Amino acid sequence: MLTYELKKSPGVPLYEALYRCIRADILSGNLKPGEKLPSKRALSQNLEVSKITVEGAYGQLLAEGYIRAQEKVGYFVEDIPQSVHVPVENPSAPVDPEASAELQSGGPEHFPFSVWSKLQREVMLDYGERLLLPMPNQGIRELRCAIAEHLAGFRGMHVSPENILIGAGTDFLYNLLIQLLGRDKIYAVEDPGYGKIRKIYSAGGVRCIGAPMDHCGVRPECLENADVLHISPSHHFPTGLVTPVQRRQELLSWAEGTERYIIEDDYDSEFRFDAHPMPTMQSLDRKGRVIYMNTFSKTLAPSIRISYMVLPTALMETYREKLGFYTCTVSSFEQYTLARFLSRGYFEKHINRMRKFYKQRRNRVVSALNGCAFANLLQIREEDAGLHFLLKVDTELSDEALTALCARAGIHLRTLSSYYRGEAPEEVRHHLVINYAGLREETLEQVLKNIEKTP
């Protein structure tokens, strides 16, 4: 039987301490692939903790792909490559929303105007003339430090402020990456996927190919010709897929020992509701192949243009040498304001409020769907993350007709199939992508009625 001394430490819930112990045993090989874990009841009795604590730990391990559940039999250790040591200390929550006009952020009513305004005034008074001096091209140090701390606390990432580069939006950062990694490289983007990313790479003058996906994420065997892979493993758009840890390892292996890079687009991990988000690929990366990217445009407001990326050290050096002449694109006023917003805990509070707000909205949307006259024809598919889910509709209509129907009801929805580069497979038909962040349930009900009326 597993036995651990679970120390209480401030800020770390007991279930998380347990989760970390078991994960460490899996990664070190103390728990072997295929090995059965004790039942929740047995383990809770053995460790003298509540069953809820064990459930929390197993739930997190399950969500991250370290273990699998077999119905009515129990939990089993997955086959995780041993070489990896995950340095995650306190996985918890941020991401890159702006990669998306479609992934519209929802409730601006929650933006803490008075706090932001107060911080702006403070910054003016405290920094004065220093605000007007040329700033470091990488972004001001205060903000990079605050982001590093934030990533440590919420995402379990250990990142030096020296490796962080601030920029006015991810669109801009993608373009910098093309210049950094090379225009002669082949960039692979998820297929299906968020169309704007493809557009940016194409406008940037590089060859961009589709990276086919299965139920675990991008398929490494299809990446033979690619040099750079752009993915959102924590929450794929539009399928909602969370790439399990094993596939993440396989993708890392694809990049390791080569000149290949993975751009990890962590665009909406803050909005995972019921469990901690999966640790980032950047945390798993030992060979400097992962570039982590995120933004504040989704979490704060789409009109605030502050994004950042974390470059591996060697790549950061190349950046300074080759592209260090670029002036930082974000005004120092906003950088200082955001630095204080982060370091004083306002961001954390804001995210918590938003998460709650979105969760309520999601639940209302789900209720509306469940309560409608033809609920039996609908099936919600979600992965407990982000601000959208898939709604499978049992209908004879084509996807085009379904979209047109929604549009007539005043709601612009897209189907999953429309996110495919080429023809979508049969099984993805009739899936509507529901961004509940910006969706009003009245509108949704109207759409449902319209669909109902249609033969």
For residues 336 and 143, the answer to whether their CB atoms sit within 8 Å is yes
Q: Which residue's structure tokens are 């929802």?
A: 106
Residue 318 sits in the site that holds a second copy (CB under 8 A): no
For residues 281 and 262, the answer to whether their CB atoms sit within 8 Å is yes
Contacts (Cβ under 8 Å, ≥6 apart) of 192: 213, 238, 239, 416, 417, 419, 420, 421, 424, 428
Residue 306 sits in the site that holds a second copy (CB under 8 A): yes
Segments of 253-364 assigned E as strands: 261-265, 290-295, 307-310
Residue 349 sits in the site that holds a second copy (CB under 8 A): no
Residue 440 sits in the site that holds a second copy (CB under 8 A): no
Min dist. Cβ of residue 195 to a second copy (A): 9
Min dist. Cβ of residue 129 to a second copy (A): 5
Binding-site member from 39, 62, 81, 111 for a second copy (CB under 8 A): 111
Please report, to the nearest 10 degrees, the dihedral formed by the alpha carbons of residues 172, 206, 268, 27 taken in order: -120
Residue 7 sits in the site that holds a second copy (CB under 8 A): no
> Residue 433 to residues 237, 240, 289, 419, 426: CA-CA distances in angstroms?
9, 10, 32, 10, 16
Number of residues counted as binding a second copy (CB under 8 A): 52
Residue 109 sits in the site that holds a second copy (CB under 8 A): yes
**Which two three-digit tokens encode residue 141?**
């140090």
Annotate each residue in 143-172 with x if it binds a second copy (CB under 8 A) or - if it does not, as one string. Answer: -------------------------xx-xx
Helices (H), 109-193: 113-127, 141-155, 170-181
Residue 112 sits in the site that holds a second copy (CB under 8 A): no
Determine whether 303 is exposed, middle or buried from the number of CB atoms within 10 Å of its CB (0-12, 13-18, 19+). Answer: exposed
> Percentages helix, strand, coil for the chain, rounded to the nearest 5?
45, 15, 40
Residue 354 sits in the site that holds a second copy (CB under 8 A): no
For residues 2 and 22, the answer to whether their CB atoms sit within 8 Å is yes
Annotate each residue in 209-248 with x if it binds a second copy (CB under 8 A) or - if it does not, as one string. Answer: ----------------------------------------
Report strand pairing: 378-381 vs 74-77: unpaired
Site for a second copy in 282-301 (CB under 8 A): 297, 300-301
Site for a second copy in 321-340 (CB under 8 A): 322-323, 325-334
Binding-site member from 48, 133, 221, 422 for a second copy (CB under 8 A): 133
Residue 117 sits in the site that holds a second copy (CB under 8 A): yes
Q: Which is nearer to a second copy, 328 or 444 (CB)?
A: 328
d(CA 126, CA 294): 28
Binding-site member from 33, 87, 108, 345 for a second copy (CB under 8 A): 108
Q: Which is nearer to a second copy, 40 or 141 (CB)?
A: 141
Contact window for a second copy (CB under 8 A) among 244-252, 304-312, 353-361, 401-409 = 304-312
User: Binding residues for a second copy, per CB under 8 A?
Assistant: 98, 101, 104, 108-109, 111, 113, 116-117, 120-121, 124, 128-129, 131-135, 168-169, 171-172, 175, 179, 183, 196, 199-200, 203-205, 297, 300-306, 322-323, 325-334
